[in-house]
Amino acid sequence: MKSYNKIFSFILILSLLFGCDNFLEIEPLDRVDGSSFFSDDDELLIGVNGVYASQRLVFSRADGGQSLIYRLFEERSDNAGADHTDQGERVETDLFKEGTGNLPISGLWEAMWNTVNLANKVIISGTTAEGDQALVSRIVGEAKFIRASLYFYMVNAWGALPIRTEPTEDFTATILPRSSVDDVYSLIVQDLTDAAAALPNSYAGGSGNEVGRVTNGAAMTLLGKVQLQNGNLPAAEAALRTVLGRYSLLPDFGSIYSGAGNENTAESIFEISFNAGNQTAWAVPQQFVPISIAAPLGTNGSGRNVLSSYPTQDLADSFDPADLRIPHTFGTATEGNYLGLYISKFIQPGATNGSDINFVMLRYADVLLMLAEAIGESTEAYDLINEVRTRAGLPDIDASSPGTFMEKVMNERRWEFAFELHRWIDLLRLPDAEVFSIMETQLESQQLNKFGMTVDISLTLDNLLYPIPQNEIDISDGVVEQNPGY
């Protein structure tokens, strides 16, 4: 059986490889019996391709046309609003009213843990895999990076988590108590440290269509982000300084998400790859754009009277009118079913079967602004911030500019990374009372102005974490404990 599995697998992989110009376009085999696979470097490579594919599903999994990860990490913030006339559970996360049975939350939980489990299989198999050991080490590093990235999103969404580092082979192995947030961060840091040691700086010039895989720069950038989020500023600074100067800002902000043919640029550090021609399109962005805007551009859009996700007026008003990023971030629809602000960042003219645009998870502008935050107010920090502002066509700022240093950093991050899944995680680095004030003010304004409703929004510490899905609590027979307030 083992021989037949391997022969069938390799024949199918070879057929998929024919005509592909990017390894991430391949739909890998992630359902081959683990007991008879991943025994050598070739099979392990197929396995990690499956991990990349599963990671892509995390970023594209949708409910009601809207990405689940988007609901939890962008709509949750003051950047984006949801259609509050939609089904209740699709609106709950925007209003901080979610319950333990919320399907978007449980759907994202499931997708993330599935990817972690696939990564665990590759990592464990790497300890015994035969073949080119340098390649095996690299593959394990790729899987550790992806596992760390998922744990990072999860710890910021749910707090304490079960730590699963081995593949689940039977039902009872899924039942683990939650480990502390500190322990989860320790795992993430170790994974990224291991990954950085095993990964190359670049795949350029390789023969295996490997551009787009995780690099050392990606591991160190994410390590810096993790340490910043965890409050370890010296460690964040040390990690980010290793990346400084290895990438560069693109001259034109609008080209970052300009579509096929402009992926993995000099600014890009790690992207989630999509390809409509290979049935791995990113369809979610087409729900951000009203049909009145999309149709003249030859692409698909939403015919809803209220978009499932849209920019808040607060975000739009916060921009300097001279900011060159505005047309590549949001626009205003003045005719058709939907009137008002829409997200313009991911529009791809001519895309009718979903988008070929990759989602840029890590890019060099993030390194510059995170390093500035880690260093703290100083001439060097303002120089880093002003690199980003210069591209946006804005004048330099310094210590004499209005606002505290943290307010200035957070504003720059908000404008640069709007709708790129940074904002809610960024807000969590602020004092709790400040987060409550920002979100209560924005939600009350959004309800009154857009829907003519008023909702009593009064947030507490419990609202900063999502509930653990009730299914997880029930299956564990109480071994997994619920977050406070749910």
Which pLDDT value is given to residue 29? 45
Please report the sign of the dihedral spanned by the C-alpha atoms of residue 94, residue 462, residue 186, residue 480. Answer: negative
Which pLDDT value is given to residue 80? 94
Please report the sign of the dihedral spanned by the C-alpha atoms of residue 161, residue 163, residue 169, residue 171. Answer: negative
Mean pLDDT of all residues in 351-376: 93
What digits encode the pLDDT tens for the residues 395-438? Answer: 999 999 999 999 999 999 999 999 999 999 999 999 999 999 99
What are the angstrom distances between the C-alpha of 180 and each of 108, 156, 162, 336? 21, 12, 9, 50
Q: Categorize the per-residue pLDDT at 88 as very low, low, confident or very high, splitting at 50, 70 and 90.
A: confident
Say which residues have a Cβ less than 8 Å from residue 226's Cβ, sequence separation at least 6. Answer: 148, 152, 185, 188, 189, 192
Mean pLDDT of all residues in 170-179: 80
Of 29-43, 201-215, 239-253, give the range with the top mean pLDDT: 239-253
Q: Categorize the per-residue pLDDT at 351 as very low, low, confident or very high, splitting at 50, 70 and 90.
A: confident
Mean pLDDT of all residues in 287-307: 92
**How does the average pLDDT of the chain come out, rounded?**
88
Q: Categorize the per-residue pLDDT at 25 as very low, low, confident or very high, splitting at 50, 70 and 90.
A: very low
Tokens at residue 354, please? 């979903």
Which pLDDT value is given to residue 209? 59
Of 8-22, 48-62, 107-121, 350-364, give the range with the top mean pLDDT: 107-121
What are the angstrom distances between the C-alpha of 173 and each of 112, 169, 170, 176, 254? 17, 7, 6, 7, 47
- Residues composing the chain: 486
| Contact (CB, 8 A) for 214 and 236 | no
Cα 344 to Cα 357: distance, rounded to the nearest angstrom: 13
Which pLDDT value is given to residue 334? 96
What digits encode the pLDDT tens for the residues 445-468? Answer: 876 667 777 777 889 999 999 999
Which pLDDT value is given to residue 471? 93
| Contact (CB, 8 A) for 299 and 352 | yes
Q: What is the DSSP string of 308-328?
A: SEEE-HHHHHHS-TT-TTGGG
Residue 19 DSSP label: T
Residue 73 DSSP label: I
Cα 144 to Cα 198: distance, rounded to the nearest angstrom: 10
What digits encode the pLDDT tens for the residues 142-166? Answer: 999 999 999 999 999 999 999 999 9
CB atoms within 10 A of CB 166: 11
H helices of 404-482, where? 405-416, 423-427, 432-451, 470-475
Q: Is the pLDDT of residue 8 over 90?
A: no
Q: What is the DSSP string of 403-418?
A: S-HHHHHHHHHHHHST
21-25, 68-72, 308-312, 480-484: least confident range: 21-25
Tokens at residue 246, please? 């290895």
Which pLDDT value is given to residue 18? 32
| Contact (CB, 8 A) for 332 and 342 | yes
Whose tokens are 């001279």? That residue is 322
Backbone phi and psi for residue 179, each to the nearest 5 degrees, phi listed first? -90, 165
CB atoms within 10 A of CB 2: 11
Cα 186 to Cα 300: distance, rounded to the nearest angstrom: 43
Backbone phi and psi for residue 127, each to the nearest 5 degrees, phi listed first? -70, -20
Q: Is the pLDDT of residue 380 over 70?
A: yes
Q: Is the pLDDT of residue 22 over 50?
A: no
Say which residues have a Cβ less than 8 Å from residue 340's Cβ, sequence separation at least 6. Answer: 310, 332, 333, 450
What are the angstrom distances between the C-alpha of 296 and each of 233, 234, 276, 285? 48, 50, 20, 16
* Strand ranges (E), 237-308: 268-272
94-103, 270-279, 320-329, 401-410: least confident range: 270-279
Residue 357 DSSP label: P
Q: What is the DSSP string of 13-76?
A: HHHHHTT-SSGGGS-----S-GGGS--BHHHHHHHHHHHHHHHHHHHH-EETTEEHHHIIIIIT
Query: Per the confidence metrics, is the pTM higher than 0.75?
Result: yes
Q: Is the pLDDT of residue 64 over 90?
A: no
- Domains in the chain: boundaries: 284-343
Which pLDDT value is given to residue 133? 96
304-313, 388-397, 406-415: least confident range: 304-313
Which pLDDT value is given to residue 285? 81
Tokens at residue 357, please? 């645009």
Tokens at residue 270, please? 């790690």
First to last CA, the chain: 48
Q: Categorize the per-residue pLDDT at 263 as very low, low, confident or very high, splitting at 50, 70 and 90.
A: confident
Mean pLDDT of all residues in 11-32: 42
Q: Is the pLDDT of residue 14 over 50?
A: no
